[in-house]
Amino acid sequence: MLHDSLSIEQVVDSGAALEFMKEASKLATTAELDDIGQRLEHKSRVFQELLSEERIGELDELGLERVVGMIFSLRRKSGRLVRRNGLDTIRSEMQELLYGDAAAAVRFERFVGNIVGVEPAMLVSLASETLHYTRPDQYWLWTHWIWNPKTGTGALPLVTTDADLQGENAGEVFDKVARATAAIHAGGEIDGYSRAGLGPFSTDVLLACVYAVYMYTVFRVKLSQEFNRILPELPELVERVLGVHRLGDDRT
């Protein structure tokens, strides 16, 4: 799925992507963005360790809490997931999501349909981040700050043109988001609007920066200066939506 993409010309608004990153560069240094990429690599290693095919059957509540704690919309909700579903069900559904034989869209739709206890958008994040950070060489990220099919908003439509991102179910949307994101990633390597050295995580950082810049623009126009002061700085906002704020602060 990682390389099963639409053409760049069909999808990507490279000019918009460059403008968003130009604005982001005024609010964050190159070193700060690279550090966020390194935090994402750290996050991915944790997912790969806990959710590997060999170890996922041993996932306990502490391990699930660690995984869920790195997902922006789901922090502190692992207990609710266990109470509503049972740890055995969560383990088996994660195992099928990651390593089942069906197509990714089918496995994605099964997961969000079988797990209960939190809002559908949170289940989308849980399924997508489980796939993306456990197997970043195969799957792209989809959260509702990247694309919200109900409202038609998110970072993705701000840097795409005529991409069809709607679908009959969550699995179909996941597949379409992946194709558009793959094109954005390829365009970033060509046009230089993403940090190429960060691999697939460069596009995570890019989309989070697009979202953060957009948020700053909206708040600046609609809200008072007093309220604007409580917004975190761009690097922190990007870290938070990507679930890596303070993650890896103890790196040596």
Q: What is the pLDDT of residue 250?
A: 57
Residue 251, classified by CB atoms within 10 Å of its CB into exposed (0-12), middle (13-18) or buried (19+), is exposed
Phi-psi region of 25 (alpha: psi -120 to 50; beta: other; left: phi over 0): alpha
- The number of beta carbons lying within 10 Å of the beta carbon of residue 198 is 19
pLDDT digits (tens, 9 = 90+) for 120-152: 999 999 999 999 999 999 999 999 999 999 999
Residues of the chain whose pLDDT is less than 70?
A: 1-7, 196-197, 220-230, 248, 250-252
Q: Show the CA angle centred on residue 101, arms to residues 117 and 74, nearest 5°.
A: 25
123 with 115: CB under 8 angstroms? Answer: yes
Under 8 Å CB-to-CB from 100, ≥6 apart: which residues?
Answer: 107
- Distance between CA atoms of residues 184 and 7, nearest Å: 9
129 with 208: CB under 8 angstroms? Answer: no
Instruction: Give Rg (Cα) of the chain.
Output: 18
E strands, the chain, are: none
Residue entry with tokens 């069809």: 164
Q: What is the pLDDT of residue 252?
A: 41
Tell me the pTM. 0.92
Q: How far is CA 93 from CA 47, 102, 109, 138, 203, in A?
A: 15, 13, 11, 19, 27
Q: What is the pLDDT of residue 87?
A: 97
